[in-house]
Structure 1
Amino acid sequence: MKKIITSLALLGAMSCSSPNLHNQQESNEKPNIIIFYVDDLGYGDIGVNGLKGAQTPEIDKLANGGVLFTDVHSPHATCTPSRYSMLTGEYAFRKKAQILPGDAPLLIDTNKKTLPDMLKEEGYKTAVVGKWHLGLGNGNVDWNKDVKPGPLEIGFDYSFLLPSTGDRVPSVYLENHNVVNLDPNDPITVSYKKNISDRPTGNDHPELLRQGADKQHGNTIINGISRIGYMKGGEKALWTDEDFPEKLAGKASAFIRKNKDNPFFLYFAFHDIHVPRLPSDQFKGKSEMGVRGDVILQMDYTTGLVMKTLKELGLEENTLVIFTSDNGAVLTDGYDDHAIELLGDHKPNGPFSGGKYSSFEGGTRVPMIAYWPKKIKAGQVNNATFSHIDFYASFADLLGKKLPEGIAKDSKNMLPSLIGASQDGRDYMVEEGFTLAIRNHNWKYIQPIPKGKRIPNFMDRTKNIEGGMSHKPQLFNLDKDPQERTNLAKEYPEIVEQLQAKLDSIKAVEVL
């Protein structure tokens, strides 16, 4: 466990600057960059962080060959906002970003400069493969024509997507602007308001389901799984969930092979280990934790497939690989796949309370590894406080690029820590969920829910997760109380006041 600094007097003593690092890079070949962004993978869900009941040998190799981080955070405790923040360098609350329905318009404004935009300006070829869940089009998407704007309009050269996520329709692949294998004589219609399909639904025909589902996830049945929303047509274009590993890794590897002679950026967004969890036959029943453990094995295998391509092409040495997750773990999230009953002694969120959706540390503290044989010394553990929102400014510094004023306003240059050259982390870091929290070294302050406003209780009621929210201010010393059990707000009112003031000042920042 990290020894977190305990004195507010040390504010400003930790520097995020990286003198001469970009000058060193100018004389070197630009590194390829891959971000493996796993879905719902908790802090404890990899071998080097204490995984029980399954194994992650490919991921552990990356950790042993690079830097394993102990205090890295997704920008938000849910998926859509985390992805928005990571790609824009801005906190999601500035956009009021929330988990999107499958037919939502593109969340990122096409006029906003993004991380892939910045990398393209530096000569990179850019791609996103996997789960998108950032919206597509301008509203009322016609899935039978060019679906845009999308990734190609915000900086990516190539995209192969699950348009939203696996538990939502349309359950088809989208390559660049078009649905893959779509038969024009069997057009797709999608509705999130009413049933427009003659396909059976899980709510009406539970006997047809491979996994039981709650009412929200009980709409159109595809591949034996009921989804959120209704879908008509597109029979030949439907995906088979069990094909995700080979299909997505194959597209990623094809992009790498095509661009092996120039620098590339690959954002590989897993569907695993999000629900519905449907491991391929290769991994079904191979863990001790049921299908959740099986898809952890599958996720590790998929990572290995992409890394194998790098090795075969001789690209591994000069590729910066980031492995991490979009938020903390959740066991039950709409489907009855026995993840709780088969958990055993494993702790998906490690020593931390909460999980996905939560304001406690388990909501955003996620595993992260940085691997770059050419630059990163193997076998390191780094305790720097870091947010995925910092990739933008850190990669810019890596390439010697000065970001224009107002671009990626919330992103901090953390390059020295990212490559294992420093243990210095952020002085302040915002953790987003259904309320805002802020970290200052060992101190964590959770902003109270306004009086008169109902505290969301679905986490405790349906997700078996502590939400961590209150109508009262909450202050925790994570060094002494990593599980956030002892509220110190009354004992340290001056710290509460200072952290609330800092949070207010961050919220007041205007962005382009």
Structure 2
Amino acid sequence: MAFILAGLILTGCKKEKKENTSVAQAQQKPNVVILYMDDLGYGDLGCYGATGLQTPNIDKLAEGGVRFTNGYAASATCTPSRYAILTGMYPWRNKDAKILPGTAPLLISTTQKTLPKMFRSQGYATGIVGKWHLGLGTGHVNWNEHIFPGPNEVGFESSYIMAATQDRVPTVYIKDGDVVGLDPEDPIEVDYNKNFEGEPTAISNPEMLTMTWHHGHNNSIVNGIPRIGYMKGGEAAKWKDVEMADHFLDKAKNYVKEHKDKPFFLYYALQQPHVPRTPHPRFAGRSGLGPRGDVILEADWVVGEFVKTLEKEGLLENTLLVFTSDNGPVLNDGYNDNTVEKTGNHDPKGGLRGGKYSLFEAGTRVPFITYWKGKIQPGVSDALVCQLDLLASLAGLAGTEENTTDSKDLLSVFLGQSNEGRESLVIEASSRTAFRKGNWLMIPPYNGPAVNKLVNIELGNSSAFQLYNLKDDMSQQNNFAEENLEKLEEMVKDFEVVRGKDYNEIQQLELK
């Protein structure tokens, strides 16, 4: 009997060892997760110098990974940056890569190279949870039928998204191309030009508002919040804003649990701290800095809970986490939520100039952290890196390579093994571009206001060239364009080479 029992135990051990070996082989390639924030500034985290906000979970990633001081989004606005991170292509190469309405067609071509396509070709499961804002369909979308093309047609095997932004209609979740919880008897209609007869708006029915608008957000009302665009129907499918962070977190955690037995790539696009800032009651008032501070604390908690899930599932040591933001900060971006009044001494820009929409540094220089437990040596890197470099860089991690024009293979930099980043970078803001090379940033002359008065942010427009030494003058207070004409000429020539023949404006300018 003892012999039989020993044999059964030995057989069981062999079976368990075989199963563990099988899982280990399946997980030989590392998982990759991009945690993508929305409008988070360079100075919004403790690890980047914030003292008015406590962000212990994100700070923990920075302490255990590489914190980049020269990490950039490709653009100072959301849609272009999201286009760049997923395609590895400068957004200014696509004339349609601008902030999109919720009814815009799919911006990414189904024939383009993308991050999820690259991972999928190497045997990875690929998923997206959260904000999309890259268009859906080919024109007019019927929200009551299957919606395509979309994320699933550009490489994501599974998708659970909002179509555009939290402040734009339609205010519904979409799973793999279908609106979640839609009642066929209450079809959805969406229009960005005119309202539907009899439907209340912020203008006609201000008594329905729980949050008032400052600019641009005075159309349809959902959950007491006025939105951009008009929507009718779909009542059962509409999201609850204060539950959005928890809702997306549950979807991201479930994705990890369901795909833990094979390598996976997850693009987890959080909605914070974009407007409308709607913290769950657990976080409302906790920051002391108003709703914007509260939703940053909420996002930090979300990151902590997500990392706990990776750890609980035994995946943390085989998962590369990339944490960053789509563009820089903005305080008043359309709602009267007291953020400006309550921000106090907290500086979301972290000493930089400008903000969202701006060619100055605070528009595109953002928090950028890579973390891989036990694989990345903790440290701080001054290497110049951009989100569009993730395509070429992560290809090497997945076991392949991508030859692209814009995306650079900086895998060793992202893993903390090298400090040799990009030589140069073109940044973009509302179709205007500027050029960074080494420690220098050149902004060509542009027409238009110097300040966007609605959001109180300097845009970087000037009738003259601007040239800044970012090493000595991170806040961009000293313009060296007239003083250092030789460097300016060098920057303009290099800029012309990168931008190519399609860029007429800079080629017509004359140095004086």
Contact 2:352–2:474 at 8 Å: present in 1 too?
A: yes
Deviations 1:450-492 (A, max 9, x none): xxxx4145x5311111111112111011122111111111122
Distance 1:504 1:253, change over 3 A: same
Q: Tell me the equivalent position of 2:445.
A: 448
Q: Tell me the equivalent position of 2:271.
A: 271
Please list, as runs of the form range in 1=range in 2, the aligned pairs for 1:479-494 lying within 5 A after superposition.
479-494=471-486
Once superposed, which parts of structure 1, at least 4 consecutive aligned residues long, lie more than 4 Å away? Answer: none
Q: How many residues were matched structurally?
A: 476
Residue 62 of structure 1 and its aligned partner are, at CA, apart by 0.7
Q: Tell me the equivalent position of 2:435.
A: 438
Given the alignment of the two structures, is residue 413 of structure 1 paired with residue 412 of structure 2, yes or no? no
Please list, as runs of the form range in 1=range in 2, the aligned pairs for 1:58-77 lying within 5 A after superposition.
58-77=57-76
Please list, as runs of the form range in 1=range in 2, the aligned pairs for 1:25-44 lying within 5 A after superposition.
29-44=28-43
Given the alignment of the two structures, is residue 198 of structure 1 paired with residue 194 of structure 2, yes or no? no
Residue 211 of structure 1 and its aligned partner are, at CA, apart by 1.7
Deviations 1:311-350 (A, max 9, x none): 1100001100011100000000000111110011111010
Contact 1:260–1:315 at 8 Å: present in 2 too?
A: yes
Q: Tell me the equivalent position of 1:14.
A: none
Please list, as runs of the form range in 1=range in 2, the aligned pairs for 1:159-174 lying within 5 A after superposition.
159-174=159-174
Letter in 1 for 2:414: L
Mean CA deviation greater in 356-365 or 366-375: 366-375
Distance 1:215 1:444, change over 3 A: closer
Deviations 1:348-390 (A, max 9, x none): 0101000001010000010111110131013x11111110010
Letter in 1 for 2:46: G
Residue 397 of structure 1 and its aligned partner are, at CA, apart by 2.0
Partner Cα distance (1:368, 1:148) in 2: 32
Residue 509 of structure 1 and its aligned partner are, at CA, apart by 7.7
Q: Secondary structure at the match of 2:70?
A: strand
Please list, as runs of the form range in 1=range in 2, the aligned pairs for 1:144-223 lying within 5 A after superposition.
144-196=144-196, 198-223=198-223
Q: Tell me the equivalent position of 1:398.
A: 397
Letter in 2 for 1:484: Q
Distance 1:200 1:504, change over 3 A: same
Instruction: Give TM-score, length-normalised by structure 1.
Output: 0.91
Q: Tell me the equivalent position of 1:323.
A: 323
Q: Secondary structure at the match of 1:429?
A: strand
- Structure 1: runs of 5+ lacking an equivalent: 1-25
Residue 53 of structure 1 and its aligned partner are, at CA, apart by 2.8
Letter in 2 for 1:284: A
Q: Secondary structure at the match of 1:336?
A: coil
Q: Tell me the equivalent position of 2:10.
A: none
Residue 215 of structure 1 and its aligned partner are, at CA, apart by 4.5
Partner Cα distance (1:50, 1:462) in 2: 27
Letter in 2 for 1:204: S
Letter in 1 for 2:382: N
Residue 214 of structure 1 and its aligned partner are, at CA, apart by 3.1
Letter in 2 for 1:75: A
Contact 2:125–2:157 at 8 Å: present in 1 too?
A: yes
Instruction: Give TM-score, length-normalised by structure 2.
Output: 0.91
1:470 to 462, 471, 477: 462
Contact 1:33–1:321 at 8 Å: present in 2 too?
A: yes
Q: Tell me the equivalent position of 1:21.
A: none
Q: Secondary structure at the match of 1:35?
A: strand
Given the alignment of the two structures, is residue 347 of structure 1 paired with residue 347 of structure 2, yes or no? yes
Q: Secondary structure at the match of 2:68?
A: strand
Letter in 1 for 2:495: L
Q: Tell me the equivalent position of 2:3.
A: none
Partner Cα distance (1:478, 1:135) in 2: 35
Residue 204 of structure 1 and its aligned partner are, at CA, apart by 2.1
Please list, as runs of the form range in 1=range in 2, the aligned pairs for 1:34-433 lying within 5 A after superposition.
34-96=33-95, 97-196=97-196, 198-378=198-378, 380-404=379-403, 408-433=404-429
Contact 2:203–2:219 at 8 Å: present in 1 too?
A: yes
Distance 1:183 1:327, change over 3 A: same
Residue 197 of structure 1 and its aligned partner are, at CA, apart by 5.1
